[in-house]
Amino acid sequence: MSRKPEPVPHFSTEAEERTYWEHHDSADHIDWSKAAKVRLPNLKPSSTSISLRLPNSLLEQIKIAAGKRDVPYQSLIKIWLAEKIDTSAKR
């Protein structure tokens, strides 16, 4: 049994809208009878997973450096690689 969705009220400020959605479920405002399945066949991941063998001592040093910067060690590796590529490209 489907029911008619509630209309979304008009909000005069972003704060008013934020407060509303903090206390209401958006599902009450959607007409699911009009929903359609969608295929997105051309989506490609924006990154590629790789496997990289590192000496344990090097990995530990990277993890310590990442901890000091409060970032995940994988992110720090990506930052360092990007910086190195930028430096090399400027030469």
Range of the domain at 78: 56-90
| Inside any domain, residue 78 | yes
pLDDT under 50: residue ranges of the chain: 1
d(CA 91, CA 77): 22
Q: Is the dihedral of CA 48, 52, 58, 64 positive or negative?
A: positive
Residue 31's pLDDT is 86
Q: Is the CB of residue 58 less than 8 Å from the CB of residue 33?
A: no
Question: Is 29 within a domain?
Answer: no
**Residue-level length of the chain:** 91
pLDDT digits (tens, 9 = 90+) for 34-55: 889 998 888 887 888 899 999 9
Number of domains in the chain: 1
* pLDDT at residue 51 in the model: 95
What integer pLDDT is reported at residue 2 of this predicted model? 61
Q: Is residue 82 part of a domain?
A: yes
Within a domain: 62 = yes
